[in-house]
């Protein structure tokens, strides 16, 4: 694997213009800043070489340039509601040279440069890394009011069930080789970058947006 101190490291933020839950979500105001600015600032303060935004939207393009990110315009056919992130990652790989790719989400504004740098340290020993928080067991129920994966007649003790990692969607790091071979954001020998639950929230709904605004208050 390419040594990290010799590698060309690019950060990529995927930001489509279309958003069903929150219109213009990626540039919506969050405590005086457009949402995407938080991701750009975290990436620019990390150990990555360059920060790119992949978008199909002129407004997002101009906002990204304003905050000193480079922009790669994304074709319409991979910017649809059902387009997979991997399509945009591979489009980026086809256009921009890199050894290691850091993919972060603009909907995760609580990510810090330290999180990104911790993932870059881990990639020395893995093919891919993704961020997650640790969750201890809680009783879950289906929408039909049935226990999900446990029995109400023999409810287990919380401490008797091993904790699990929950992917928080904030950071994915992989090598060019792994991305092009697998066509996935993570593959091969995968490492998990643990982030605290308190910084693992994403903005996907109005409720999420209200919460993030409270968490980011000075």
For residue range 49-74, what is the model confidence (pLDDT) as tens digits? Answer: 899 999 999 999 999 999 999 999 99
Is the pLDDT score of 18 beyond 90? Answer: no
pLDDT tens for 88-132 read 999 999 999 999 999 999 999 999 999 999 999 999 999 999 999
Mean pLDDT of the chain: 94
What are the two backbone dihedrals, phi and then psi, of residue 53, each rounded to the nearest 5 degrees?
-115, 125
Token reading at 203: 């903005």
Q: Which region, left, alpha or beta, applies to residue 3 given φ > 0 means left and ψ of -120 to 50 means alpha?
A: beta
Q: Is 172 helix (H, G, I), strand (E, B) or coil?
A: strand
Catalytic residues: 155
Instruction: Write down all domains in the chain, each with its CATH number in brackets.
Output: 4-130+167-186+200-215 (3.90.550.10)
| Cβ–Cβ under 8 Å, residues 175 and 127 | yes
């Amino acid at each position: 694997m390419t040594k990290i101190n010799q590698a060309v490291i690019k950060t990529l933020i995927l930001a489509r213009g279309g958003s069903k839950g929150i219109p213009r979500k990626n540039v919506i105001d969050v405590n005086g800043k457009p949402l995407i600015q938080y991701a750009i600032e975290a990436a620019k303060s990390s150990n990555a070489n360059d920060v790119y935004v992949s978008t199909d939207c002129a407004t997002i393009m101009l906002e990204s340039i304003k905050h000193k990110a480079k922009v790669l315009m994304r074709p319409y056919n991979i910017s649809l509601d059902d387009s997979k992130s991997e399509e945009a990652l591979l489009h980026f790989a086809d256009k921009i040279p890199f050894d290691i790719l850091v993919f972060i989400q603009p909907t995760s504004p609580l990510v810090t440069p330290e999180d990104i740098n911790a993932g870059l340290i881990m990639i020395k020993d893995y093919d891919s890394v993704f961020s997650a928080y640790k969750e201890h067991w809680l009783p879950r129920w289906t929408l039909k009011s049935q226990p999900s994966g446990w029995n109400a007649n023999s409810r287990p003790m919380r401490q008797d069930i091993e904790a699990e990692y929950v992917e928080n969607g904030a950071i994915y790091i992989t090598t060019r080789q792994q991305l092009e071979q697998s066509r996935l954001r993570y593959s091969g020998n995968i490492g998990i970058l643990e982030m605290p639950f308190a910084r693992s929230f994403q903005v996907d709904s109005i409720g999420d947006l209200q919460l993030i605004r409270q968490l980011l208050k000075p």
